[in-house]
Chain A
Amino acid sequence: MQRLIDRAKELLADGTVVRVLGWKAGDMGYNPEPAMFDNAAELRNFVYDGFCGANLSKFMIEASKLEGKTLVFLKPCDTYSFNQLIKEHRVDRDKAYIIGVGCQGKLSMEKIKSMGVKAIESVSGADAFDAAEELTFETLYGEKTVAYKDAMLQRCHVCKGKEHMIYDELLGESKDTKDADRFAEVERIEAMSPEERFAFFQAELSKCIRCNACRNVCPACSCRKCIFDGTKYDSAQKANTTSFEEKMFHIIRAFHVAGRCTDCGECSRVCPQGIPLHLFNRKFIKDIETFYGEYQAGADTDSKGPLTSYTFDDVEPSIVAERG
């Protein structure tokens, strides 16, 4: 972590960048938050550890409008989002100085809490570049240990790889964390009967409180004016009152990023209700791969997206009914 701060101070001092976009310590030691640092003195609050799951690429939309270059720290999966934003002309590549930081898998506080670790006073073992095999928590009820792997975010188990897609320089070591198939969960649901699927999604989506966190955090959801903010649809900005509203919101939210979603998993990470929102995005990704061929959004900055291109012999929509 000190290496990142030192490098940021160097870049600020020699005038390469005028501000730093990173993470600052939260009040608890396990809840760092994205932050903008305007000078070297502010960097004392800078933090980068296993809890820094937040994807900073979306903040570059606003930072691109400011004078001067911004230093931004991007994890391997965040660089996909950044590439996608370049493709959509939402960020200015010339306004960003990207340090690709290593990633050893990010932690989920929800998972840790569900394992019975509560009233945490301090954490050790969550260092960014030499993450231990085990996390140790000092709690009010004594010391507790949890395996690092068990506390990782779902998305880290299906990691796209630790290679940065875009960067100016690299810092820090990564560790491979992939140990599951990306589409395994989607396939499990597909294998259920329609009644079971309906019941499964009904149960998950009825937890939704329409806080819009999934939309706000999503690097692909970057419209200046969102359809869900309008007054035209009576589902705008309020808690769902019927089962349909939940579905409509989540289908449309996922549809609007279909073909552009890099599967960064931020939606599921921020959901306060723990809804597995990535299941929608991944279903679209899986369908796109089955019907239109392999495609990874954000792997480059110039290819055409699957929903903005076509071929003469695409499958007909009736395939959905035919495959049974």
Chain B
Amino acid sequence: MSIEAKEEFRPKIVAFCCNWCSYAGADLAGSSRLSYPADVKIIRVPCSCRVNPMFILRAFEKGADGVILCGCHPGDCHYSTGNFYARRRMTLLFSMLDYLGVENGRTRVEWVSAAEGVKFSTTMNEFVAKIHSLGKNVRLGDIRCKD
């Protein structure tokens, strides 16, 4: 009788992408046939500043191992200034998570324009590899919310 091999760790990654740049960037990555891991689940938001710190915590609570926020490059926001506010908020939130002892690198912000399909794909590959090396998210999980 053989002992079944342990299932390989597949990280769950949530990517919040803004409608105007990063979501289009992801589209371009797809239509250019660039590959990125299927572990990345994209959630489209109207603007990067739509992302409330609670969304990110909620994603972790529900079992995400990493959360990445993508938006237009600073200065290129469709709504002119949204990503400037998002940038400040995320800096503070990430610093707070670090302060609480959550591993650095589970959260990330990347600016991806609609023309940067390549950047989108490399960013996602990098991020998934990083989360893979960090392993399962135990410090921010909530057992009741997982399936």
Q: Which residues of A contact B (CB under 8 A)?
A: 189-190, 194-201, 227, 233-234, 241-242, 244-245, 247-248, 251-252, 254-255, 258, 280, 283-284, 287-288, 291-292, 306-308, 310-312, 314-321, 324
B103 interface hit (Cβ, 8 Å): yes
Which of B12-20, B35-43, B92-100, B113-121 is found at the contact surface with chain A? B92-100
* B3 interface contact, C-beta 8 A: no
Instruction: Provide the bound-state CA to CA distance between A196 and B101, in Å.
Output: 7
**Known contacts A194-B103, A201-B101, A252-B57: A307-B140 contact under CB 8 Å:** no
Task: Tell me if B91 is interfacial: C-beta within 8 Å of chain A.
Answer: yes
**Taking A201-B100, A291-B91 as contacts, is the C-beta distance between A321 and B109 under 8 angstroms?**
no
B143, A242: Cβ atoms under 8 Å?
A: yes
CA A242 to CA B75, docked complex, whole Å: 41
B96 contacts across to A, CB distance below 8 A: 251, 254-255, 280, 283-284, 287
Chain A contact residues: helix, strand, loop or mixed: helix
CA distance A324 to B98 in the complex (A): 9
B80 shortest CB reach to chain A, Å: 11
- Contact in complex: A244, B94 (CB < 8 Å): no
For B84, B94, B100, B144, which residue has the most chain A Cβ atoms within 10 angstroms? B100
Q: Is B1 an interface residue (CB 8 A)?
A: no
Chain A neighbourhood of B93, CB < 8 A: 251, 255
CA distance A247 to B100 in the complex (A): 9
List chain A residues, Cβ under 8 A from B143: 242
Interface hits, B97-147 → A, CB 8 Å = 97-105, 107-109, 139-145
